[in-house]
Amino acid sequence: MAIEVTDSNFDKEVLQSTLPVLVDFWAPWCGPCRAIGPIIEELSELYAGKVKICKFDVDSGSIVSAKYGIRAVPTLIFFKNGEVAHQTTGAVSKSSLKEVIDTKMLG
């Protein structure tokens, strides 16, 4: 299951993680966010123990959203060793996300 992250625990859960991290910046009112929600959950099960999957509600946290320039949701940011390794905006297919994880995060 994806981990809910906020402004207060983002550094600990994402930037200090020993595993690569995928953060789904989303909002409850966002249709495309709800559409990829099940894909994010599937990936959290598929990559359990290999990649940490997190969700960040942009309506409840503005500090991290501003830091990473989140202007549209969903925005997916892939972190490796605390650094941004890849970023994409919009509803993305499961196969596209798997390819990024396998090549840029685990490859």
∠ CA 3-45-73, nearest 5°, is 50
Total structural domains within the chain: 1
> Would the pLDDT of 54 be above 90?
yes
Give the chain's mean pLDDT: 96
CA 76, CA 21: separation in Å to the nearest integer?
10
CATH number of the CATH domain containing 53: 3.40.30.10
- Give the pLDDT confidence score for residue 11 in this predicted structure: 97
**Token pair 């992250």 in the structure block, residue:** 5
- Give the pLDDT confidence score for residue 107 in this predicted structure: 84
- 28-35 mean pLDDT: 96
DSSP structural state of residue 2: P
- Give the pLDDT confidence score for residue 16 in this predicted structure: 98
CA 47, CA 70: separation in Å to the nearest integer?
25
Domain containing residue 75: 3-105
DSSP structural state of residue 77: E
Q: Categorize the per-residue pLDDT at 82 as very low, low, confident or very high, splitting at 50, 70 and 90.
A: very high
> Would the pLDDT of 63 be above 90?
yes
Count other C-beta atoms under 10 Å from residue 106's C-beta.
Answer: 13
- Give the pLDDT confidence score for residue 44 in this predicted structure: 96
User: Which residues participate in catalysis according to the annotation?
Assistant: 30, 33
CA 67, CA 49: separation in Å to the nearest integer?
27
